[in-house]
């Protein structure tokens, strides 16, 4: 059984305490309350043949400002944005995500001296594959030009097409080792993952009649995935082999254990993956494929990117923006407010379960309108906040079944 009632270990360990997450992406945005979804300078010309270069004029204010205005306009109109030349040698290609309010993931195409590199790849469907190929063509190239696929994290809207791209182009695929170590259990041999999820949900207080639906939610993704192991493991602060660019990896655990952002000091540019999004909060859940304190890790990772000298942020969803410090402060305050809300619930109702706390919290839509896998993600978010409060000495739990939480005396 998952030892949910046991005290968390102080190190980052993937112990049985952390029972399982969804096999598919538990929504990159999560179910946080913020937002509508639950809860440069030019460089030298290359010879890749991806169209003429134009040097943009960029004014960077110190507060949050939307810079991807075409993306924002498309988002507001509920349509997919155009393929866009973000700056010389860098393109944004929207790749659709099926049946998801996020609609698409932005795959970034970096021109190299001998082809292109992709940052993320897209969801593993034929529609996504066609969109990715069409985007490369609009940028002046083709799939055969791809030399590298740098994946920010293991979720299927980012990693799902990486193997197919490699097969078609011969490109290498890179991923952080923490996420690489989880691929088999997450997408192939999933029986143990589902069982640990069921144990965690039961320990959380999920009613017996809801356990099957929540434990198996999003398992349909398994049939569509043929996830290939990465060729290269990308470590924190590693300069990535992308000729003509100075991007280095910034390890930002929280949304996943091996999430990375890409930072260019020359261009003051951050490709943020799902770590920092302009409108919504990424899902930060406690589960068996996480470290022992995922929200604590996430808050530390936010501080880490806040210290970078960044003029513009290119996220994997929604739209580009500037004012990273301002956005990080808003995200940090969101979680601080959530911690206070949970403490307020425990003050009024001591000894309740994680599931009951989740039901008592406000969400951005009525609870009955939230899909099963998102309800599971919401429970995981609540649990991540409870774990952080426990580690701070502000909350204690009773090792009952389900576990009961109280404010520390």
Q: What is the pLDDT along the chain (409 residues), one digit of tens a residue?
A: 333 333 333 333 333 232 222 222 333 333 333 332 233 222 222 233 333 333 333 443 469 999 999 999 999 999 999 999 999 999 999 999 998 889 999 999 999 999 999 999 999 999 999 999 999 999 999 999 999 999 999 999 999 999 999 999 999 999 999 999 999 888 877 788 888 989 999 999 999 999 988 987 766 666 667 778 999 999 999 999 999 999 999 999 999 999 999 999 999 999 999 999 999 999 999 988 899 999 999 999 999 999 999 999 999 999 999 999 999 999 999 999 999 999 999 999 999 999 999 999 999 889 999 988 899 999 999 999 999 999 999 999 999 999 999 999 9
Say how far apart CA 290 and CA 258 lie, in whole Å: 9
Residue 122 CB coordination number (10 Å):
30
C-alpha separations of 343 from 128, 148, 295 in Å: 43, 46, 16
Question: What pLDDT does residue 93 have?
Answer: 98
Residue 326 CB coordination number (10 Å):
15
Q: Which residue has the tokens 């897209």?
A: 122
Say how far apart CA 207 and CA 334 lie, in whole Å: 29
Q: Which residue has the tokens 């003051």?
A: 268
If phi > 0 it is left, if psi is from -120 to 50 it is alpha, else beta; for residue 318 that is left
Length of the chain: 409
Helix H or strand E segment including 264: strand 260-264
In degrees, rounded to 5, the angle at the alpha carbon of residue 398 between the alpha carbons of residues 397 and 400 is: 135
Tell me if 117 sits within 8 A of 260, measured CB to CB. Answer: no
Question: What pLDDT does residue 272 have?
Answer: 98
Say how far apart CA 304 and CA 248 lie, in whole Å: 14
Residues 6+ apart with CB under 8 A from 143: 132, 133, 136, 165, 168, 169
Say how far apart CA 142 and CA 113 lie, in whole Å: 15
User: Coil, strand, or helix at residue 282?
Assistant: coil
Indicate the burial class of 14 (C-beta count within 10 angstroms; 0-12, 13-18, 19 or more). Answer: middle
Nearest to 157 by CA among 208, 204, 110, 224: 224
Say how far apart CA 349 and CA 138 lie, in whole Å: 57
Q: What share of the chain is helix, strand, coil (3-state, %, to 5)?
A: 35, 15, 50
Question: What pLDDT does residue 216 have?
Answer: 78
């Amino acid at each position: 059984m998952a030892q949910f009632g046991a005290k968390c270990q102080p190190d980052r360990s993937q112990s049985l305490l952390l029972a399982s997450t969804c096999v598919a992406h538990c929504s990159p945005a999560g179910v946080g309350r913020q937002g509508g979804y639950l809860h440069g300078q030019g460089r030298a010309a290359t010879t890749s043949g991806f169209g003429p270069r134009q040097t943009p004029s960029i004014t960077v204010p110190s507060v949050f400002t939307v810079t991807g205005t075409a993306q924002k306009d498309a988002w507001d109109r509920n349509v997919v944005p155009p393929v866009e030349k973000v700056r010389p040698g860098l393109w944004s290609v929207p790749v659709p995500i099926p049946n998801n309010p996020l609609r698409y993931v932005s795959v970034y195409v970096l021109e190299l001296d001998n082809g292109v590199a992709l940052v993320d790849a897209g969801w593993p469907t034929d529609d996504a594959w066609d969109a990715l190929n069409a985007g490369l063509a609009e940028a002046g190239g083709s799939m055969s030009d791809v030399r590298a696929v740098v994946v920010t994290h293991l979720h299927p809207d980012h990693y799902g097409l990486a193997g197919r791209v490699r097969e078609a182009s011969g490109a290498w695929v890179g991923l952080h080792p923490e996420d690489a170590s989880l691929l088999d259990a997450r997408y192939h041999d999933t029986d143990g993952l589902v069982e640990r999820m069921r144990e965690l949900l039961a320990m959380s207080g999920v009613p017996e009649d809801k356990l099957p639906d929540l434990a198996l939610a999003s398992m349909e993704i398994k049939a569509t995935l043929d996830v290939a192991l990465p060729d290269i493991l990308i470590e924190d602060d590693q300069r990535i082999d992308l000729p003509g660019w100075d991007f280095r990896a910034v390890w930002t655990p929280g949304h996943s254990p091996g999430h990375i952002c890409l930072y260019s000091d020359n261009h003051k540019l951050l490709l943020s993956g799902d770590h920092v999004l302009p409108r919504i909060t990424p899902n930060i859940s406690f589960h068996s494929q996480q470290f022992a304190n995922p929200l604590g890790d996430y808050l530390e990772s936010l501080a880490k990117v806040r210290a970078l000298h960044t003029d513009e942020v290119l996220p994997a969803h929604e739209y580009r923006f500037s004012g990273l410090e301002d956005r990080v402060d808003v995200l940090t305050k969101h979680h601080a407010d959530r911690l206070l809300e949970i403490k307020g619930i425990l003050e009024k109702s001591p000894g309740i379960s994680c599931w009951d706390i989740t039901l008592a919290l406000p969400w951005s839509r009525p609870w009955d309108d939230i899909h099963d896998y998102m309800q599971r993600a919401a429970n995981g978010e609540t649990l991540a906040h409870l774990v952080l409060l426990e580690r701070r000495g502000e909350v204690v739990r009773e090792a009952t079944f389900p576990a009961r939480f109280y404010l520390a005396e």
